[in-house]
Amino acid sequence: MEFLFVGIGGFFGAISRFSLNILEKKLVSHSFPVGTLFINVLGCFVAGVIFSKIETFQINRTGILFLLVGFTGSFTTFSTLMMDSVQLMKVGNNLGAALNLILSVALGATAILLGRAINLS
């Protein structure tokens, strides 16, 4: 049964990520992977909020499996982050690649901390 909760959460995370990427490509014309950066930071923030709920016992194991393992795990796009960064390097945009990696890590960690600090009841 636990696999089902992870799978359903993963389905919704993947669909949400895919939808945001499509929306970003329609709204913004640029070579920098803003959509991937946004999704990773948002996913980290959501993970931080979930962690705060876990620490205060406001979420059960089923919720953890669905939201944290399934949804957030599927929603965040680390492999896409790496592919975007390598692609930037391949076209000679080493500064963009470095910026993408640094911003993703720094903003992602900050988003986790902010999400954990916010106790949404």
What are the pLDDT digits (tens) for 46-84? 888 888 888 888 889 999 899 989 999 899 878 788 988
Residue 30 has pLDDT above 80, yes or no: no
Three-state SS at 47: helix
Nearest Cα neighbor of 116 from 41, 40, 50 is: 50
Give me the chain's average pLDDT, please: 89
- Position with higher pLDDT, 17 vs 57: 17
Number of Cβ within 10 Å of residue 102's Cβ equals 10
Q: How confident is the model at residue 121 (pLDDT cuts 50, 70, 90)?
A: low
Instruction: Look at residue 52 in the predicted model and tell me its pLDDT.
Output: 84
Q: Per-residue pLDDT tens for 99-115?
A: 999 999 999 999 999 98
Structure tokens at 86: 């390598």
67 alpha carbon, distance to own chain's centre: 12
At residue 44, does pLDDT exceed 80? Answer: yes
pLDDT band at residue 18 under the 50/70/90 scheme:
very high
List of residues 6+ apart from 102 with CB closer than 8 A: none
Please report the pLDDT score of residue 57 as a whole number.
Answer: 83
The predicted model gives 12-23 an average pLDDT of 93
CA angle 37, 40, 42 (to 5 degrees): 105
Q: Are the CB atoms for 70 and 3 separated by under 8 Å? A: no
- What is the Cα Rg of the chain in Å? 15
Q: What is the pTM of this model?
A: 0.76
Q: What share of the chain is helix, strand, coil (3-state, %, to 5)?
A: 85, 0, 15
